[in-house]
Structure 1
Amino acid sequence: MSAWAEWFTAQRAEREEAGLQRTLRPRAADEQVIDLASNDYLGLSAHPEVRRAAADAALTWGAGSAASRLVTGTTTLHAELERELAEFTGHEAALVLSTGYHANLSAVTALAGKDALIVSDAHVHASLIDAARLSRASIEVVAHNDVAAVRSALASSGKRAIVLTESVFSVLGDAAPLAELAGACADHDALLLVDEAHGLGVRGAGGRGLVHQLGLARHPNVVVTATLSKSLGAMGGAVLGCPDLVDHLINRARPFIFDTALAPPAAAGALAALRQLRSDPALPRRVHHRGERLAARLRVPGSAGAVLSVPMPAPQVAVAAQAEALAEGVRVGCFRPPSVPDDVSRLRITTQAGPDEQRWNEAVEILARVIEEHRSQQ
């Protein structure tokens, strides 16, 4: 056995001992499981109009975009999506990328640099953490949602600064104090970058996001990133802000410049989903109503978005509860270290507008029973 093979074996043994081994589990298109692990909050991924738009785009443009956006990868679909996404969220301009991960990498690396300071909330997504590291900026991680710590970091830096946060956090489901953070950034001429991945489609009037809800969409110190793979049910990402920001990213953001453009079927699907959301503003309200009922049934705090976090006593218990729920027909997420910021293993359940009322109620009862059984192991 080679040294590398021995290393892989030892690494796997360590993960298995700690209950942290992960595997890929392919799902079938016709499975009957109620999927509350996905981020398809509004059920738009399977909406007939969204499916048809993606299929038509594939027939018209092909399966892929065939080039980066600065070569020939930009289509009229990309331009339409950017225009309507910016208008919907209240921003002047948008730039669409192949993933939400790329959106964060592009925004942070193009706006920061070795002469800048990044002040990062301790709970931000891995894409923002990686982006901060790649930017070569000085990095100060502050306690979760601690505005005073952000102000202190900005006051003592003397550098061009960017503050990183999420509107709704992906693990705990809590909201950031965006108005206070924007005020701190304005006072110190810093930039606040808000990842709306879990706010778009769920928060604000008609799902326009928490930034829009708080009147910060055109704040001169606020930049927004988002993903098209959650509430909009497709894939891709976007950076939203002023035209000068978009122009800068087009010319300086390497993850945008050197990446193949978002595939036309995904762009068309996201655009169709956005139009469905705009025509049915009740969808976000359904998510919140179901979330409130589910949180009360499971005896956990409610969510600012669509994510319910259910702490479990150990990684092995969380995995066992997830497996039992799946065996009974409900898929939920399972977050374990190092994917969680506080080292607490938990089930992650997404409340969704898609399932009909009967199937939703079935899922709630199954989860309540399974979780209560496994909580008793504490």
Structure 2
Amino acid sequence: MTPAFAQLADNLENIARQNLYRSRRVTESPQGVNLQLDGRKLLNFCSNDYLGMANHPDVVKAFKTAANQYGVGSGSAHLICGHSFAHHALEEELAAFTGRDRALLFSTGYMANMGVISSLLGRADTVFEDRLNHASLLDGGLLSGARFKRYAHADIDHLGTSLQKAAGNKLIVTDGIFSMDGDFAPLKELSLVAKNHNAWLMVDDAHGLGIIGAHGGGLLEYYGLKQDEVAVLMGTLGKGFGTFGAFVAGSEVLIETLIQKARTYIYTTALPAAIAEATRASLKLVIAENWRRDKLEKLTARFRSGAQQLGLQVMASSSPIQPIVIGDSKRAVEISNGLLNAGFLISAIRPPTVPQGSARLRVTFSAMHEEQQIDQLLDALAKSMTC
């Protein structure tokens, strides 16, 4: 082994010693609340398939039909020959769904966030990021070359003070629902501070679209915010919609700017047309079937009530993301493994994904869960937490 690779091996051993080593598990079934994993049947409480769309028969049928029509691969980038009727139709439907002029598809949410921020800002500008933002937003800010400022989580006063000192174009970037805490960003206050300081506001609503709001319009619908109040909306398709990919929605000028400048859009192969058609089918269900959102809300309330009765340290979240703070990484892994042995799949989330000393179990719910399964989970948690 060369010295360089020996150093990598030492780094891996150090990660393991800190109880931060990550391993993959192999699923052997479609995504759902009942998951076959490494030869075992488990109740799944760690998926982002909040509405149960990943294996919905209508969505699967649309994918198969489109694969027969368009084939498997898109063949090229959108700007070469990879932009199909299916892609174009989905963009128009997503624009209508979000109440915006236009939408633009990206192959992943990570690529969307990096592409948007680096397209809008340069070295003379400043980006302001919530301290708990997703890694893709942080990386997008760093990639842009702009002055990079982080403000205390959801702290409008701290942000306002930083904005007063900034020059050039100013972009405020935030998650909508924070993926590891489950809380909502204060978007109304953020939109006001952006307006007062002549800044743009960008919201990554990956965990809100489809799930929050009377019609699934996410946090912007929940807060009643329009395009002129939130200039940039990013959403992913692999969570509430159950498929794959991402999109950015906003004004005509924003979308045309991204088509011309976003390197993560220009220089990558378009996602398969069959995925676009599957998402079109999913979008129709998301809009029409309010019962999924209603059920998620009831399941979340049932879990929170039971968790509080058990004295579990559940974070202040009204979303389907319900983290239970453990603190110590080793203990979080032990509890996760204990739950696995009892037939429940819940991931232990550890640094650097979350701050030091805040390792947690990230419990998530799907509209496909039943109340009985929530009660079974609470019973298992009560036993695992005392072992």
* TM bucket normalised to smaller: over 0.9
Paired with 1:94 and 1:366, the residues of 2 have a C-alpha distance of 43
Q: How many residues align?
A: 373
Cα distance in 2, alignment partners of residues 82 and 161 from structure 1: 27
Q: Which residue of 2 aligns with 1:336?
A: 350
CA contact (8 A) 1:297 1:368 kept: no
Q: Which residue of 2 aligns with 1:247?
A: 256
How many angstroms does 1:62 deviate by? Answer: 1.3
- 2:362 corresponds in structure 1 to 348
Map 1:1-378; keep pairs closer than 5 Å: 1-29=1-29, 31=36, 32-299=41-308, 300-341=314-355, 343-370=357-384, 372-373=385-386
CA offsets per residue over residues 197-231 of structure 1, 9 Å max, x none?
Answer: 11111211121111122221322552111110101
Q: TM-score, normalised by structure 1?
A: 0.95
Question: Is the 2:299–2:371 Cα contact (8 Å) retained in structure 1?
Answer: no
Deviation of 1:174 after TM superposition, in Å, equals 0.7
Q: For residues 123 and 190 of structure 1, what CA distance do their matches in structure 2 show?
A: 20
Q: Distance in 1 between matches of 2:341 and 2:204?
A: 34
Shift of 1:358: 3.7
List per-residue Cα deviations over 1:216-248 (Å, max 9, x = no partner).
132255211111010101110110111111111
Aligned pair in 2 of structure 1 residues 164, 343: CA closer, same or farther (>3 Å)?
A: farther
Q: 2:311 maps to which residue?
A: none
Q: Secondary structure at the match of 1:140?
A: strand
Question: Which letter does structure 2 place at the counterpart of 1:373?
Answer: T
Please state how far the C-alpha of 1:57 moved relative to its aligned partner. Answer: 1.5
SS, match of residue 203 in structure 1: coil
Q: Which amino acid aligns with 2:243?
A: A
Distance in 2 separating the partners of 1:73 and 1:287: 37
Q: In structure 2, what is the Cα distance between the partners aligned to 1:320 and 1:13? A: 19
TM-aligned CA distance change 1:145 to 1:220, over 3 Å: closer
Give the Å deviation of 1:294: 1.0
Is the Cα–Cα contact under 8 Å of residues 122 and 341 in structure 1 kept in the other structure? no
Distance 1:55 1:364, change over 3 A: farther
CA distance in 2, matches of 1:213, 1:229: 21
3-state SS, counterpart of residue 305 of structure 1 = coil
Q: d(CA) in 2 for partners of 1:368 and 1:308?
A: 16
Contact kept? 1:101, 1:127, Cα under 8 Å: yes
Deviations, residues 320-363 of structure 1 (Å, cap 9, x unaligned): 11112122221112210111145410010112111344444433
Do 2:47 and 2:365's aligned partners in 1 also have CA atoms closer than 8 Å?
no
Letter in 2 for 1:205: A
Local SS of the residue matching 1:33: strand
Q: CA deviation at 1:275?
A: 0.8
Where 2:380 maps in the other structure, the secondary structure is helix
Aligned partners of 2:159, 2:356: CA distance in 1, in Å?
Answer: 20
Aligned equivalents of 2:87, 2:160: Cα separation in 1: 38
After superposition, the C-alpha distances for 1:31-66 in whole angstroms (9 at most, x for unaligned) are 132211110001111111011111212221111211
Mapped contact 2:206–2:234 kept (Cα < 8 A): yes
Q: Which amino acid aligns with 1:168?
A: I
Q: Deviations over 1:246-285 (max 9, x none)?
A: 1110000000000111112222222211111111012112
Change in 2 beyond 3 A, CA 1:304/1:116: farther
Contact preservation (8 Å) 1:186, 1:221: no
The answer to whether the Cα contact below 8 Å between 1:318 and 1:347 also exists between their aligned partners in 2 is yes
The Cα of 1:77 is off from its aligned counterpart by 1.1
Structure 1 gap ranges (5+)? none
Name the aligned partner's letter for residue 311 of structure 1: V
Q: Is the 8 A contact 2:328 2:357 kept in 1?
A: no
Q: Verify the 8 A CA contact 1:98 1:263 in the aligned structure 2.
A: no
Helix, strand or coil at the partner of 1:312? strand
Check whether the contact 1:189–1:221 (CA below 8 A) recurs between aligned residues: no
Task: For structure 2, list consecutive stretches of 5 or more residues without a partner in the other structure.
Answer: 30-34, 309-313
* Alpha carbons 2:320, 2:364 under 8 Å: kept: yes
Deviation at 1:176?
Answer: 0.8
What secondary structure is seen at the aligned counterpart in 1 of 2:188? helix
Report the 3-state secondary structure (helix = DSSP H, G, I; strand = E; otherwise coil) of the residue aligned with 1:24.
coil
CA distance in 2, matches of 1:350, 1:77: 31
What is the CA distance between 1:103 and its match in structure 2? Answer: 1.2
Runs of 4+ aligned residues of structure 1 deviating over 6 Å after TM superposition are none
Which one-letter code corresponds to 2:265 in the other structure? F
Q: 1:147 to 1:302 in 2, by over 3 A?
A: closer
Distance in 1, Cα, partners of 2:223 & 2:336: 36
Instruction: Assess, with a 3 A threshold, how the Cα gap between structure 1 residues 256 and 148 changes in structure 2: closer, same or farther.
Output: same
